[in-house]
Structure 1
Amino acid sequence: MKTQVFEVNTISKTTKAVSYSLGMLFMLMFLSNCSTMQEIPGSTSSDLSSSYAVKSFEKKKQLSQNLDTRDPRSYYHYLLALKAEKAYQLEEAALHYKEVVQHDPEAERFHEKWVRLLLRTGQFDEAVRAGQNALSRFPENEEIKMILGDIFASKGQAEEAIKHYDQIIRISPENARALLLKGALLEGMEKYDQALEEYKKGALVESKNPLIQFYLGRAYLRANKLKEAEESLDIAVSLKPNLLQARHHLAWVLERQGRTVEALKEYGLLLKLTPDNEYVKNRVSKLHSSGTLDQNPSESFEAIPSALEKQPNIHMRIATIYFEQTLYLRALDEFQLVLAKLDYKDPHVLMARIYETHGRLDKAVEEFEKLRKLEPKSLDILLYTARLYSLMKIPEKSIDLLNEAVKLEPENDQLLHSLALAYMAKNENDMAIVTMSKAVALNPKKDSYYFELGALMEKSGDYKGAIENMRQAIELNPLHSNAHNFLGYIYALEGYDLDQALEHLKKALTIQPRNGYFLDSLGWIYFKKGESKKALTQIQKALIYTEPDPVLYDHLGDILFSLENYDEASGAWKNSLFLTVNEKEDPGGEMPDPQTLRNKIDKAKRLLQQSY
């Protein structure tokens, strides 16, 4: 008997996988001679016919010799399928499993993998064709029958789906999922008595399955069996307290039995979880206005109120459970089935989160672009889509979307701030300054806006504007350590008011004593004041607390050079040059000039030669 909701027993499949993998290792030695593997490592159309392994296999096949191994092309595509699955490249994995099945048609488990991946990627028509072909070879395969039944049900072909579920139940009478899904279809067809019987069978198989208990409770309620309904719904909410629809139904059952106090308790819990639920508010209001808390049930109640009448989408319920259990691949299967029946917001949002979690930002964006079509004026969707494009390093897309968001709420300073950051990512600093200035005008009490505007102005060469904004940030927030550091560093760069610069850095380090960049700034101020030994002490501390930084090594070289330590100065500048020319991404801030560093290194080299 299964002990977990819809758990699939994989022990026998794991055993097969081990033996298959051992054979695969042997065949890889032959496939290493195949040049096409190196030429097209991710292609599903690679021609392996010229490889030694394939030629040997084909020769044995033609001579009708005993084939002690499988077609090496199936191994090749199996490896690529595993690689694609690991990278969440599900469409590519499906293509490779198609090749595996083509070259090894008797491998039942790969038919299963291919059909499931077609479902997982929303290729329903192809999944049906592949599944029916597989069933012609393996007519007792429960998993493929289940997938086809689910697809037929989601496409509105209830009778065909029930036929597949019945076949599964015949093969495995304890398959609770098939019983539940068949019951849901019968309920949707208004065959309520038959649906109740299927739910009862499912509850006998998996009594601790909250979904089965919920649907069974609904069926009992519709049949006016209130005690049985209460028992099933109570089990459902005890097993899964956040199954709100079960709690809605339980509260209604209590109402129907005249148990007003208990019903109000359930409605109270629902209001805590969903405070804007108008249906619950109305029920509470009616119960309070009735003026009675007695135990006398009313005879005028309808079986299920209209607000609860619509059958919950069972695949959405299953998908949510998988999602909560972090069984994301199985959740994707169910979300695809949900969307096949009705395209709405929730599945797309959760699918996007799954794709983002697994590094498929392109697929996450694809889901949010679908959401934009469903809700083009949704600010939340615009912002999340812009964020995804930003993570993908496509700032122009982020800018377009954020401009749309600003049009919807032109007085929203946070939107303008986000737009300014997007312009910064695209190095459009002039537009960033204009946009950030608008954000400051709308919210002049935000210290972080002044700091970022000051940093932008410094980058554009407007030191006066930068200093004014940094001072304003400090006025609003005297503990703004970054503003103190920035202001002190600007003073040091300009070479004036070094005592005030020193005060700002001391304040910054009082707040963040182990900030390597602050220590670098302090060392640079000491250097500008002509106190190179103090400067060296601070720079050496900075090296402990920061990642290798080209500016810091440049400063270290300058300080060592002033102390006539030309050898170590040259080494520091070489480190700075290496980090500068090998910078993989735009650092977005100050960077040494490579030619200047080379000139410094040459100068140190000449002075070293003169000293010998």
Structure 2
Amino acid sequence: MKILSFSSPLAIALSLSVGLASTAPAFAREDATPGYVGEPSVAGSFLSARLAGSERDTDAAVTYLRQLMKADPCNDELVERAFFAMLVAGEVEDAIPLAERLVKVDKSHRIARLVLATRAIKRSQYQTARTNLSLSVRGPIGDLTATLLAAWTMLGSNNAKSGVELIDRLQGPEWYAAFKDINAGLILDAAGNKKDAGKRLEKAAKMEPATLRAVDAYARWQSRNADKDAALATYAAFEKLLPRHPLLTTAVAELEAGKTLPPLIRTPQEGSAEVLYSLGAALGRQGGEDLALVYLQLSLWLEPDHPLAGLTLADLYEQMKQPEKAISVYEKVPAASPLKRNAEVQMAINLDQVGKFDDARKHLVALVEKDAKDTDALVALGGLYRGHKLYAECAQTYGKVIDQLKDPARKDWTLFYFRGICNERNKNWSAAESDLKTALKLYPDQPHVLNYLGYSWVDQKLNLDQAMDMIRKAVSLRPDDGYIVDSLGWAYYRLGRYDEAVSELERAVELKPQDPVINDHLGDAYWKVGRKLEASFQWAHARDMKPEPEDLPKIEKKLQSGLEDETPVKKAEDQQKGG
């Protein structure tokens, strides 16, 4: 995709009008009557589109760019921006005419050619698709995308062998291999070439044993061409790496019911959607969010019911801090999909993020009432209660998950850790201490557990030597974690070792400068070493950072009258001498 310079006459005019735009509403007209809202100005739409784009509000960006194209319909740079924004927003149908315009200006425009090829695949116009793919600008991602899609079109032209040969001829980075083998195997399987399909799918599954689609594709082939037990063994091996995946749980249930499993992919359209999904997911993991959105939107346009593309798109929106869009995607997951329940859980989490706690809670409670053993919903509900400081409900909910554990393992440490936090905040220290010790037993040297248990002991004047050792160890394991460094500084403060407290708390503030608690702690430490002006500055800083409601009066009192005298916790060695 070409880089835009915005050196057109329109861009120059817009740059000259920025000052005016900043002093008057974009949609106002000087001769208008009060309350009149007229046509948006060019400058206003341009600035609004730029702002929306920078904030990744693609819906708004598309709206403003449409207005700009009406004002300057011959501006190819605006067309390109609008085209890409429409794709990111999932407005593929509206983006297609713009793609046709762009390839007239730039014949090798990669994304425009990709969109036109995708449309051709959807229409079963396989030669047209290959022509568009062959004309696009290439690069590592472009080469792989074009080759895999072209190979699937060869299946549509009843020439699967040539499609696989096309894949095998592709040269590139080592990470190409996994994509090449699974697509070659899927094409051969869809074409009915059992023997060769099995070889390629087995190779892909062994190369990527933790990749769901590779394992699922091979096990499905085994169910039809080997035997049920071989397929179940393949699924069982994956289960150890990623337990209870709904798609595989459903597949295993069908096998145990005596059914065989159809191929993962059966048509060129499904195969092309799979290519776009898998590459989009990989791009999203590597930080290429915008291109990942384009690929995932095209995948869903080809196959709206793709079992994973929708969840991956929603997950990407979550990663980009756009919970409203994630919710809209989760709502579209088909009710019959094995992933619907997962979508419902994630939708509740996102509802809470947009300030709809009651809706989120009702959503999760309904899921639990429907299935009391739904641990995913219970864990999400426990997290919801914890986030809203409903600690009794939190501890009770995590307890329902823990009660289902037959033999707690390392992976379960978070359940005991979070229940321990909720019990501690609910003033049930004996239960909290037991949970935190269990978490540490399951995961020795886990820094968050070491920190929380050690800090709690210091705060309660218990086991001071052991507590300090635990906190120091947590800091050594997570030296750049401001909260853990703060714990060490505050532990020194509680012990009356104020110079050491200042040193650690200053470092904690450097790591987490916008945290009110850490700034408040540093203010206390400054006061104790006689740096009272700096103490007042830190307290004022903490006050202005929106601390918790219960902390604000304490901070304001210190700003008015300073820090009251307090007796430090006994030093560890003194405590030991006293028994």
1:280 paired to 2:217: no
Match of 2:397 in 1: 435
Match of 1:504 in 2: 467
Cα distance, 1:462 vs structure 2: 4.3
Amino acid in structure 2 at the alignment position of 1:371: V
Question: Does the 8 A contact of 1:457 with 1:463 survive in 2?
Answer: yes
Q: Pairwise mapping of residues 120-135 of structure 1 onto structure 2 (< 5 A)?
A: 120-122=88-90
Match of 2:70 in 1: 102
- CA 1:440–1:36 in 2, change beyond 3 Å: closer, same or farther? same
Give 2:460's match in structure 1, choosing from 483, 491, 499: 491
* 1:167-193 residue CA offsets vs partner (Å, 9 max, x unmatched): x79x999997598568646647xxxxx
Cα distance, 1:17 vs structure 2: 3.7
Match of 2:100 in 1: 143
Q: Matched residues in 1 for 2:119 and 2:340: separation?
A: 37
Match of 1:138 in 2: none
Q: Matched residues in 2 for 1:525 and 1:88: separation?
A: 46
Q: Pairwise mapping of residues 391-470 of structure 1 onto structure 2 (< 5 A)?
A: 391-392=353-354, 394-407=356-369, 409-411=371-373, 415-443=377-405, 449-463=415-429, 466=432
Q: Pairwise mapping of residues 512-531 of structure 1 onto structure 2 (< 5 A)?
A: 512=475, 515-527=484-496
Question: Does the 8 A contact of 1:488 with 1:521 survive in 2?
Answer: no
Q: Pairwise mapping of residues 100-249 of structure 1 onto structure 2 (< 5 A)?
A: 100-111=68-79, 113-114=81-82, 117-118=85-86, 120-122=88-90, 143-144=100-101, 180=117, 184=121, 187=124, 195=126, 198=128, 209-211=146-148, 213-215=150-152, 217-219=154-156, 222=158, 228=162, 231-232=165-166, 234-235=168-169, 241-243=178-180, 244-249=182-187
Question: Does the 8 A contact of 2:490 with 2:521 survive in 1?
Answer: no
* 1:93-138 residue CA offsets vs partner (Å, 9 max, x unmatched): 222123223333443543564466456545578779xx5xxxxxxx
Matched positions, count? 481
CA RMSD of aligned residues (A): 4.8
Cα distance, 1:25 vs structure 2: 2.1
Question: Does the 8 A contact of 1:491 with 1:501 survive in 2?
Answer: no
Match of 1:36 in 2: 25
Cα distance, 1:80 vs structure 2: 1.5
- CA 1:597–1:367 in 2, change beyond 3 Å: closer, same or farther? same
Amino acid in structure 2 at the alignment position of 1:581: R
Give the structure-2-normalised TM-score: 0.66
Amino acid in structure 2 at the alignment position of 1:210: T
Question: Does the 8 A contact of 1:454 with 1:466 survive in 2?
Answer: yes
1:365 paired to 2:327: yes
Match of 1:21 in 2: 11
Amino acid in structure 2 at the alignment position of 1:246: A
**Structure number with larger C-alpha Rg:** 1
* Partner-residue secondary structure (3-state), 1:276: helix
Question: Does the 8 A contact of 1:580 with 1:592 survive in 2?
Answer: no
Cα distance, 1:524 vs structure 2: 4.1
Q: Matched residues in 2 for 1:204 and 1:248: separation?
A: 22
Amino acid in structure 2 at the alignment position of 1:81: A
Which structure would you say has the larger RCO, counting Cα contacts within 8 Å and 6 or more residues apart?
Answer: 2
Cα distance, 1:83 vs structure 2: 1.7
Question: Does the 8 A contact of 2:216 with 2:264 survive in 1?
Answer: no
Q: Matched residues in 2 for 1:468 and 1:200: separation?
A: 64
Give 2:558's match in structure 1, choosing from 597, 600, 607: 597
* 1:405-453 residue CA offsets vs partner (Å, 9 max, x unmatched): 4345534666544422311211222322332444454459566555544
Q: Matched residues in 1 for 2:527 and 2:397: separation?
A: 38
* 1:356-395 residue CA offsets vs partner (Å, 9 max, x unmatched): 3433222122212222756487342233334434554654
Question: Does the 8 A contact of 2:413 with 2:439 survive in 1?
Answer: yes
Q: Matched residues in 2 for 1:172 and 1:464: separation?
A: 68
Identity of aligned residues (%): 13
Gaps of 5+ in 2: 33-38, 209-213, 228-261, 566-579
Question: Does the 8 A contact of 1:356 with 1:364 survive in 2?
Answer: yes
Match of 1:292 in 2: none
Question: Does the 8 A contact of 1:557 with 1:572 survive in 2?
Answer: yes
Question: Does the 8 A contact of 1:233 with 1:249 survive in 2?
Answer: no
Q: Matched residues in 2 for 1:323 and 1:393: separation?
A: 28
* Partner-residue secondary structure (3-state), 1:36: coil
Give 1:266's match in structure 2, choosing from 200, 219, 225: 200
Q: Matched residues in 1 for 2:133 and 2:442: separation?
A: 63
Q: Matched residues in 1 for 2:281 and 2:339: separation?
A: 28
Match of 2:28 in 1: 47
Match of 1:311 in 2: 268
Amino acid in structure 2 at the alignment position of 1:358: M
- CA 1:467–1:205 in 2, change beyond 3 Å: closer, same or farther? closer
Cα distance, 1:231 vs structure 2: 3.3
More displaced, 201-210 or 336-345? 201-210
Give 1:91's match in structure 2, choosing from 46, 54, 59: 59
Cα distance, 1:89 vs structure 2: 1.4
Question: Does the 8 A contact of 1:550 with 1:580 survive in 2?
Answer: yes
- CA 1:430–1:341 in 2, change beyond 3 Å: closer, same or farther? same
- CA 1:434–1:403 in 2, change beyond 3 Å: closer, same or farther? same
Match of 1:78 in 2: 46
Cα distance, 1:214 vs structure 2: 0.7
Question: Does the 8 A contact of 2:433 with 2:453 survive in 1?
Answer: no
Q: Matched residues in 2 for 1:186 and 1:437: separation?
A: 53
- CA 1:107–1:601 in 2, change beyond 3 Å: closer, same or farther? same
Q: Matched residues in 2 for 1:469 and 1:306: separation?
A: 46
Amino acid in structure 2 at the alignment position of 1:285: A
Q: Matched residues in 2 for 1:182 and 1:555: separation?
A: 65
Q: Pairwise mapping of residues 514-553 of structure 1 onto structure 2 (< 5 A)?
A: 515-527=484-496, 535-547=497-509, 549-553=518-522
Q: Matched residues in 2 for 1:178 and 1:546: separation?
A: 49
Amino acid in structure 2 at the alignment position of 1:91: D
* Partner-residue secondary structure (3-state), 1:312: helix
- CA 1:200–1:582 in 2, change beyond 3 Å: closer, same or farther? closer
- CA 1:213–1:439 in 2, change beyond 3 Å: closer, same or farther? closer
* Partner-residue secondary structure (3-state), 1:100: helix
Q: Matched residues in 2 for 1:237 and 1:407: separation?
A: 53
